Amino acid sequence: MNSYKIMNKNSFIKTILVLLGVSLSLHALAHHVLGRPSYSLGEDSNTPPSMQVETQIGDYYVTYMAFPAFPKANEPGRVNLYASRIDNGQSFTGKVTFSVMDDSWFSSKIETIGSQMSDDSVFRQGFIISEDGNYIIRAEFESGGEPYIIDFPLRIGEPLPIGPLGVSVAIIFLILISVNVIQRRRLQRMKTGRHHAETE
Amino acid sequence: MHPGLSDNWVSVVLIFMLLIIAWSLVGKPVAYRPRHISLRKLPFIGQALHTMVTRPWVLLLFRFMFVAIFLLVIISGLFGTPIAERNLATTLTWTLWWTGLIIATYFLGSAWCAVCPWDVLATWLVRLRLWRRGSNINSFNLRVPKSIRNIWLASAMFIALTWLELGFGLTVSPYATAILSLVIVILAVLSQVIYERKAFCRYFCSVGRTIGFYASLSPLALRPVDQNICADCKTLECFKGTEDIEPCPTHLVIGRSQQNTFCTSCGACTQSCPYQNVNWAIRKSGAEAIYHVRPSWDESWFILILVALTSFHGITMLPVWEAWISQWAQMIGDSGQLLWSFSSGMFISLMVPIGMFAFIIKLIQFLLSDQELEFKRLFALFGMAFLPLAFAYHLAHNLNHLVRESRGITEVFLNPLGSGTLPLSHHEVHLRHMNPLISQDILFALQAGLMMFGFWFAIRILLQRMDSLAITHSAVNTVIKSGMLVLISGVSLFNLWLLIQPMVMRM
């Protein structure tokens, strides 16, 4: 019963799955998300969210947004979370705990940044992060005796200067140079072979 | 939400379909009279067009223009606003290009392939020339292995692109749109580096193959001005190229070819022909699809995938789609972005029409077990009849997007990165919705017309293919024809039903 809910004993694996799903789709939304309800507005900045994710977990639809559009180190940011039941659309009104962790390979540090009660059905959590990097914001709540854990990626600061454009150009040139070198060597070998054949 | 097709138009389409079905039961395929009018022979336009197709600089100019726009799309996608409706990458790619491309294919054949920035960039980088015959030093120029000399990879790419578009939300992510564009450039480069000529366009590119098949319905194609010159030609520059001009990138002898499915309109034949005998020609719309496209197993699969995925596009834009997928996710225990639920839904949508087609062919085989009709032969033969259905629905669906969602494109061109912009307000969404590019009545008339066009050509292809089977026994003919009619009508009715439904806006 309710096997789709995140249970205590296997919450880690399911969290990872949710995380993977969400990370794969930073801005990936169904193209039907058109309403701009209260949770899509940033109180601190008049910008669109840096990320907006809608996800379904257990009995809930969860909408998550991070503000401002480009979060920077040592500057205040905010995450807004809104959860409503799938069956009747009722908003979740309990308590949500937010924590942050470094999303790097060798880091397991996790820090709770606060617990929030519903404010007009929206859970608003402010944050200040001191270093640029990739982070995971975790939102936890309990409903119907089941724990819910939802992880969302968050980028602080500018991404690395060598972006996809640099990687693409590098890949293309690496391919072209490698083939060019191989072809030139082959032609050289053929030329030498022909020269030998002519002189013998 | 876009309103669906009105009841009056639905009635018109249904009556038309009934009449065509009645005609098809007694009718015979129309005798074919090959005829085309070369545009070269037209006064004024003919000379201008002749200059355009025989001089490389005209095409080069267009290529520069499209490459520049493509690079702007990438820059906008990578560095611009993440708001899809304010960023050039998403609006130009998905609202204007992807929807307009299908319309353009009907009127201009495969002309897009001639200026396609993926191939142009790859060619410039690998061949090291902007035009004329390039160097081979950056390519192994291998022959494409027989095992992949088909369009299975293009079919796989088409499925993958649809998954990314609808499941991953590519259409609302400028960044992902830019990344996809870059990845395809890399694939095109890789293909040219390994294989000779344009293997990517010929075998692997799903956009190119979609255009190729749809172009077989187009009234425009590259053809000899004088058929006799080509018939007597011994040197075949169009196929082999010259010292200056590349050979045909897809191995066509254009002067003797009746099927343009694999023509990329690259202009090599128009420039290399010593008699300047190749030019654009007007022909009967759909004649190539009806009479000339050779049945092929892999191509038939591609067409059926096209049918399934175009309808699937419509399904995902139904207002109830989200509720369906959510319920399905709860049933199978999926959470997060529901990618498993979406993928399985897409797989089912893909398999239903293909499975039904295969089932009807199996049924025909069973009923006519004494006739020794091969499954693969029938599958390959009749797959083509579904092409006009895919085309008609694809176009009708895309028209909706184009006329209702492309308002505001000028603003996006003026600010391609969307700097300092905010998401569309409710008011703007409403305004766009209420002010389509053309009136709703015209849009509905066009959509209904397209559905009738698709059905009419599907039946004509069916009758022609029946004729090519050369079955003399009338009962056998009736069984096969009825089976295929049921499926063609079923697909048409389903697509018509999709058009009746209100459609959710993309952005």
Q: What is the pTM of this model?
A: 0.82
**pLDDT-derived band of residue A8, with 50, 70 and 90 as boundaries?**
very low
Residue A34, pLDDT above cutoff 70: no
> Is B60 part of the contact surface with chain A (CB cutoff 8 Å)?
no
In DSSP terms, B376 is beta-bridged to none
Distance separating alpha carbons of residues B275 and B79, to the nearest angstrom: 49
Residue B506, pLDDT above cutoff 80: no
Answer yes or no: do B172 and A28 touch at CB < 8 A.
Answer: yes
Distance separating alpha carbons of residues B227 and B277, to the nearest angstrom: 9
Answer yes or no: do B185 and A172 touch at CB < 8 A.
Answer: yes
Distance separating alpha carbons of residues B277 and A198, to the nearest angstrom: 44
> Is A7 part of the contact surface with chain B (CB cutoff 8 Å)?
no
CB contact set of B272 (below 8 Å; sequence gap of 6+): B237, B238, B241, B242, B244, B245, B246, B247
Measured in angstroms, the CA of B332 and the nearest CA of chain A are apart by: 8
Q: Which of A53, A57, A175 sits opposite B335 (nearest CB)?
A: A57
**pLDDT-derived band of residue A37, with 50, 70 and 90 as boundaries?**
very low
The label of the residue with tokens 């998403």 reads B90
Distance separating alpha carbons of residues B391 and B285, to the nearest angstrom: 13
Distance separating alpha carbons of residues B27 and B22, to the nearest angstrom: 8
**Mean pLDDT value across residues B178-192:** 95
Q: Which of B126, B171, B333 sits opposite A3 (nearest CB)?
A: B333
The percent of residues in chain B predicted with pLDDT above 70, rounded, is: 99
Q: What is the pLDDT of residue A127?
A: 87
Q: Are B453 and B389 in contact (CB under 8 A)?
A: no
**pLDDT-derived band of residue A28, with 50, 70 and 90 as boundaries?**
very low
Per-residue exposure over B327-336, b if at least 16 CB sit within 10 Å of its own CB, e if not: ebbbeeebbb
Give long-range contacts, CB 8 A cutoff, 24+ apart: B479-485: B479/B364, B479/B367, B479/B368, B480/B364, B480/B368, B480/B378, B481/B24, B481/B25, B483/B360, B483/B361, B483/B363, B483/B364, B484/B360, B484/B382, B484/B385, B485/B21, B485/B24, B485/B25, B485/B459
Beta strands across the sheet bearing A60-67: A51-57, A60-67, A77-85, A123-127
Distance separating alpha carbons of residues A31 and B343, to the nearest angstrom: 16
Q: What is the pLDDT of residue A5?
A: 38
Instruction: Name residue B465's amino acid.
Output: R
Distance separating alpha carbons of residues B192 and B203, to the nearest angstrom: 12
Q: What is the pLDDT of residue A12?
A: 45
Distance separating alpha carbons of residues B360 and B163, to the nearest angstrom: 28
Give the nearest chain B residue to A18 (CA atoms): B336
The token pair that represents A65 in the structure block: 């947004």
Q: Are A22 and A43 in contact (CB under 8 A)?
A: no
Topology at the third CATH level for domain A11-156 = Immunoglobulin-like (2.60.40)
Instruction: Name residue A25's amino acid.
Output: S
**Mean pLDDT value across residues B466-472:** 83
Q: Which of residues 256-295 of B touch A (CB under 8 A)?
A: none
Higher model confidence: residue A168 or residue A4? A168
Q: For B372, left (φ over 0), alpha (ψ -120 to 50), or beta?
A: left
Q: Which of A168, A171, A179 sits opposite B139 (nearest CB)?
A: A179
Element (H, E) at B463: helix B440-469
Q: Are B145 and B196 in contact (CB under 8 A)?
A: no
> CA nearest A55: which of A93, A17, A90?
A17
Element (H, E) at A151: strand A146-156
Summarised one tens digit per residue, pLDDT across range B65-122 is 999 999 999 999 998 887 888 899 999 999 899 888 999 999 999 999 999 999 999 9
Q: Which of residues 157-186 of B touch A (CB under 8 A)?
A: 168-173, 175-176, 178-179, 182-183, 185-186
**pLDDT-derived band of residue B260, with 50, 70 and 90 as boundaries?**
confident
Residues of A in contact with B83 (CB under 8 A): 48
> Is A13 part of the contact surface with chain B (CB cutoff 8 Å)?
no
